[in-house]
Amino acid sequence: MPFVILLAGGAVLGLVGIFVRLAGADGVGPFAAAFWRMAMATPLLVSWAWWSARRGAAAPPRGADPGALLPGWSLPALIALAAVAFAGDLILFHLGLRWSTVANATLESNLAPLVVTLALWALTRVPPRPSFVVALVASLAGALLVIGAHFGDRRSLFGDLCGSASALFYAAYQIGVQQARQRIGTLPLMAWVSAGATVALWPMALLEGRLWPHSAIGWIWLVGLALLVQIGGQVVIAYAVKHLEPARASIGLLVQPATSAVYAWVLLGERLDALQAVGAMLVLSGIYLARR
């Protein structure tokens, strides 16, 4: 059952590109979509964390050893790192969704496990297993095939670059959360990170000048982005992963980029050509090996 729940959560997360595109069609800019995604989710996460604390939910003691990765960082610094990195990830990912295809941007953003492994290698000086080299080569080759179709289109190519760069920020977010999680419970941590990301995104959304939807339907897409994707999908996946062995969880988490390509094909008419399809399979294989 947890594996089925994980697949459902990944399928829900795959909707993010559809919601961003639909909100954009109603006048909402990519920065604004990222802002509303976090601003609408934050009050619910804060309320949930407060309710959980009132019930006496267990949390790791403050001051616990955060591990060897960032030993000199305080808890507020780790939370700030996670919040700012997540804001940067959302901005670049949403730009990728707007200017490139949904499938490309989602695949590129999901390269984060490769970046995390490289970062851990640099921080700990412990080399990864040989299988990671295979994963890295497969993912890079696949990414070149996926992006190759856009070499003649500057707008789409820039979108692909934004999608790829979002993986760097998402990796930093994952490291910050992993380290902070050893000192604070998951719900309060997510509430703090969500609030921090909202604050970081607010000025950029204002400067963009496309903050408000043109009609009521635009708000529906933003609410879906915040509640269905940000809270629903993430919470479901967090629950399922906790009850699964890593190998099965690695397979299940590949559902998001796979379903996003299907949604974009069915709902937006975006199709992958033969080379892009081969590239997508290589990227997914590399991500799977990296997660293992």
Distance CA 162, CA 86 (A): 14
Structure tokens belonging to residue 55:
């019930």
Distance CA 88, CA 74 (A): 21
Distance CA 142, CA 102 (A): 16
Distance CA 121, CA 262 (A): 34
CA 220 from chain center: how many Å? Answer: 21
Look at residue 107 and give its three-state secondary structure: helix
Distance CA 116, CA 85 (A): 13
Residues composing the chain: 292
Q: Which of 55-69, 127-141, 195-209 has the lowest mean pLDDT?
A: 55-69
- Residue matched to tokens 């994707």: 229
Q: What are phi and psi of 72, to 5 degrees?
A: -90, 0
* The pLDDT of residue 43 is above 90: yes
- The mean pLDDT value for 172-196 works out to 88
Of the two residues 279 and 253, the one the predictor is more confident about is 279
Structure confidence at residue 82 (pLDDT):
93
Q: Any idea what DSSP says for residue 101?
A: -
- The mean pLDDT value for 94-101 works out to 92
pLDDT digits (tens, 9 = 90+) for 239-277: 666 666 655 666 666 788 888 988 999 999 988 888 888
pLDDT digits (tens, 9 = 90+) for 55-75: 875 455 444 444 546 778 899
